[in-house]
A and B are shown apart, each in its own frame.
Chain A
Amino acid sequence: MHKNWQRSLAARHLLPLLRDCRHALSMSLADWDDTIRLARQARLLGLIAGRLKETQDLWERIPERVRGHLQSSINFSAHRLQMVRMELRALDKALPPTIAVVLLKGAAYIAQNQGFARGRMPNDVDLLVRRTDLDEAEAALAAAGWAAETTSDYDQRYYREWSHELPPMRFPGHALEVDLHHTITPVTSRVRANDVLLFSSLQAIPDSRYFTLHPFDQIIHAAIHLFQDSELAGHLRDLVDLDGMIRRVIHAESDWTDLQQRADQHGAGRYLCYTLRYCGTWLGTPMPQLITLQPPSTFVQKFMDMILTRGTLPRLPDTPPSLSDRFALQAGVIRYHWLRMPLKLLAGHLIHKTMALIRR
């Protein structure tokens, strides 16, 4: 893999800290100055704080002022988690008990009490229901007081026809948005997950009416989301989640084989390959010796490496992105749109967005 990433500031302390939190013992105050800023940028401050705090002899050896920032993010995150719990309780009351509701992403990790979910600062709750239940679910939420946030008719139509989710809804006064999905990938994207497979393998959460996806599907969903999303910047957080999920459920060789097969069934073999590559290199995720996935061509691989390194690893905010960094970010954005929409639709969508910007 391109060695460029090793020269990035994030590689000096942030990545080593994520691989092994005992790395903190070798960090100076000046090292912490950069690292706190990068971690904040990457939305990882809460996670790192949580890991450091649960190792008693480690926590006490961290400089006091650094501990202050870490504790602050722990406190902030605890409040956010409380808000997620309350939103889920309120949604439970509003949604008919006959509808199976699946928690996705952050909400799922929190409800399952996943270690890597600590320190999250969620802004929304992602739910998945069957396409056939969607209208009833939406109506129930609206009747209970949730209101759609997007007002433009064009945006409403975009969401309903092409996307995988409804326009975000919010209960007035609540801090969290609710995103109601009926599938996990946009209707028009190149890689469509296998909905039948998803819904046939749901896992119940104990003492709750909510479900989560099968652990392998959670991994694959996160991988698809990561590599098909427009904001590659800030996705180090998502790689950390993937690392956490993989460590939790993949142990034996057979698990790897099953995961690969599952990914292929969703048409997401390539994304799994990318995921393992970056998780392994940056986060030290344990890897099988033999990966029999279809590797992309060298050119595509180098291109992805460039985008990921430039776009995904956090940078100190005061340094403006270099020309090549900006190109990388832009390339990521174009790629995202290409993956999501057929060319004809894309042109129309982008033109509309530009007009809206000009009018503002």
Chain B
Amino acid sequence: MSIKYQTFDTISRSEFSSALQTSSLNLDYGACRVKVMAGGIRFEESFKVVYRAFRFTEDEPFSDFHVRLHPGSLARRLIRPTVHFAIDGVHPFDPFPLSDALPMYEWGINWSFAQRFNQYVLLHAGTLALGDRAVIMAATPGSGKSTLSAALMLRGFRLLSDEFGVLDPETGNLLPMLKPVALKNRSIDVIRSFSDDAWLGPTFKATRKGDVAHLAPDEASVSAVRQPAKPALVIFPKYDLGAELSLKPQAPEQAFARLAFNSFNYALLGPISFAAVADVAASCPAYELRYSRLEDAVRCLQDLLFEPSLTNA
């Protein structure tokens, strides 16, 4: 018998608003569970779209962070309304315009996670899976990893995260840190036309990162938010307009070095991250993937991930 639960899509706006006021809004990202208080911010509409498949729960005894968004001072509100992000009473950044509350929230959660979750090796990568086999896509400049992550999810891959490769050094598994995928500038339209199933939140114009819109994680990814996956493939994507699709194998020590460079806390974890990243490099084939058409890249990765017994000598 399945237990009926509410999602952000199905709950009423007033229920949602009241939860935000009283700090009983809980979000389960997989590796991390957040409690949010956000009275007077008025981002319910956009939130409900980008978190549509997430479960709405009011009872959560233990949260990994306690986050509060609040408007700026009364006087300021008249001149230029702002929104402030606080985690456990600390305000790590300057305020954003009130209209940019959702991007600020997303950015704030990513920042807080990278700061506090040093029990895991945090690779800077998009991670997706077919079954329990995961691909790690390192987030180098010009990789287009967010767009590629979005496309892969829309073509049936389970999305773990478009930003973090959360590697558990004790098990070698990857954990989800499942959040709306932040798409920038041209990618927004590309993904909108890539699939009819793409649920996009509003476009925030000219934020610090250009135009930003968020793609909602799909139901399949959300329901698997507590499931780990085993790293099976490492990819260094390179978006190259007009280029033919090409796949260049990377030697394991190359993969090691590139993964270590593309991580949030490699240096911090010392011997722990050395061993964990070496394990991934030793057990997963690695490729540099040059692509210009998303469909080609998706098909290529499907083939690579399906190939049985891919091992590195």
Contacts and interface: CB of A to CB of B under 8 A. Distances in A.
Interface residues of B, number: 22
A318 B118 contact: no
A41 B88 contact: yes
A68 B63 CA distance: 12
A206 B66 CA distance: 45
Contact of A318 (B89, B119, B267, B272): B89
Interface in A69-90: 69, 71-73, 75-76, 78-79, 82
Interface stretch (A24-32, A154-162, A196-204): A24-32
Given A33-B63, A69-B64, A317 B118 contact: no
Interface of A: prevailing SS = helix
B270 A33 contact: no
A33 B62 contact: yes
Contact of B270 (A29, A37, A78): A78
A318 B269 contact: no
Given A65-B62, A68-B117, A76 B268 contact: yes
Nearest to A38: B88
A30 B62 contact: yes
B62 A75 contact: no
Given A40-B88, A41-B88, A79-B270, A68 B119 contact: yes
A63 interface: yes
B90 A317 contact: yes
Interface residues of A, number: 24
A205 interface: no
A79 B269 contact: yes
Interface string B255-291: 0000000000001111010000000000000000000
A75 B272 contact: yes
B61 interface: yes
B116 interface: yes
A32 B63 CA distance: 10
B200 to A, nearest CB: 32
A217 B108 CA distance: 45
A130 to B, nearest CB: 36
Contacts of A347: none
A297 B169 CA distance: 56
B119 A69 contact: yes
A318 B90 CA distance: 9
B270 A69 contact: no
A40 B272 CA distance: 23
A33 B61 contact: yes
Nearest to A67: B119
Contacts of A76: 118, 268
Nearest to A40: B88
B37 interface: yes
Interface in A6-47: 28-30, 32-33, 37, 40-41
A351 to B, nearest CB: 27
Contact of B64 (A41, A65, A73, A78): A65
A40 B88 CA distance: 9
B68 interface: yes
Given A28-B61, A33-B63, A82 B270 contact: yes
Contact of A29 (B61, B68, B88): B61
A318 B66 CA distance: 9
Interface string B103-117: 000000000000011
B66 A37 contact: yes
Contacts of B37: 318
B268 A29 contact: no
Most buried by B among A30, A75, A78, A317: A75
A72 B117 contact: yes
24 contacts: A29-B61, A29-B62, A30-B61, A32-B62, A33-B61, A33-B62, A33-B63, A41-B89, A65-B62, A66-B62, A68-B117, A68-B119, A69-B64, A69-B119, A75-B118, A75-B119, A75-B272, A79-B268, A79-B270, A317-B66, A317-B86, A318-B37, A318-B66, A318-B68
Given A33-B63, A79-B269, A318-B89, 4 more contacts: A65-B64, A72-B118, A79-B268, A317-B66
Nearest 8 Cβ contacts at the A-B interface: A317-B89, A71-B119, A30-B61, A29-B61, A29-B62, A72-B119, A72-B118, A68-B119
Interface of B: 23, 33, 37, 61-64, 66, 68, 86, 88-90, 116-119, 267-270, 272
